[in-house]
Amino acid sequence: MKSSTPAWNKIEQSFSYQEFFNKVQAEALQPLPGAIGSDDNKLHEYKKLNLQRMKRIEKTFHVSEELEQTLLSIKYPQLWTIITEGWCGDSAQNLPAIAKIAKVNLVIKLQIIERDNNLEIMDLYLTNGTRSIPMLISSDTDGNEIFRWGPRPKEAQQLVNRLKSEGIEHDEFIEQLHLWYAKNKGIALEMEFINLLSTSVKN
């Protein structure tokens, strides 16, 4: 799928990682936007929690030598577009690491767009019919898709599928997912990017 399709041409605003982080931080520090228990307040609380997750991962995630060498083997420009939202827990767990990964090679440009402002694009990259985020689409200078990744590492997705099949309640479901992220420390994400990037270089 080409990123030069009409939907892509309608992007009104994109962010660098730092700009997106600053936006989440500014929104998280604002007073509660709605009545107690409202959806707006829940999203606000998610952003506050995600801000702390992002700060932690920025400090603790380091690109491995194997991934670094794989990244440096990329010779031609790639645009990595990430569709996400500041309230998304999976985004907070993966986005800071992906931003560090992208920084290794200057031929990679990273841009972030907000899902709810770009639903036409989001609907081109559904996961089992749902608007799951984050979703990363890598494309070349002609807009041809190189690879895509998301909304979470495969091992985490397998955990999600199992918990859903067992009918686990939402709060416990989320707790177990983020516990998995804490234990894995980005290893699964790294291995998936090594495989994706190695394949894209060969092609």
The pTM (predicted TM-score) of the whole model is: 0.93
Helical spans, DSSP H, in the chain: 17-28, 39-60, 65-72, 89-103, 119-122, 154-165, 170-184, 187-202
Burial of 101 (0-12, 13-18, 19+ CB in 10 A): buried
- Residue 152: count other Cβ atoms within 10 Å of its Cβ: 26
* Contact of 109 with 121, CB cutoff 8 Å: no
- Return d(Cα 75, Cα 107) in angstroms, integer: 7
Length of the chain (residues): 203
pLDDT given for residue 3 in this prediction: 63
Looking at the DSSP assignment, which residues form a beta bridge with residue 108? 78
Question: What is the C-alpha to C-alpha distance for residues 30 and 33, in angstroms, rounded to an integer?
Answer: 8
CB 132 within 8 A of CB 123: no
pLDDT at 35 over 90: no
pLDDT of residue 42: 86
Domains of the chain: 8-152+186-202 (3.40.30.10)
Give the model's pLDDT for residue 31: 81
Q: Which residue has the tokens 């700060």?
A: 55
Residue 135's pLDDT band, with cuts at 50, 70 and 90, is: very high
The percentage of the chain sitting over the pLDDT mark of 70, rounded to a whole number, equals 93
> What is the predicted pLDDT for the residue at 5?
65
Give the model's pLDDT for residue 56.
97
Q: Residue 176 burial by CB count (10 A; 0-12/13-18/19+): exposed, middle or buried?
A: middle
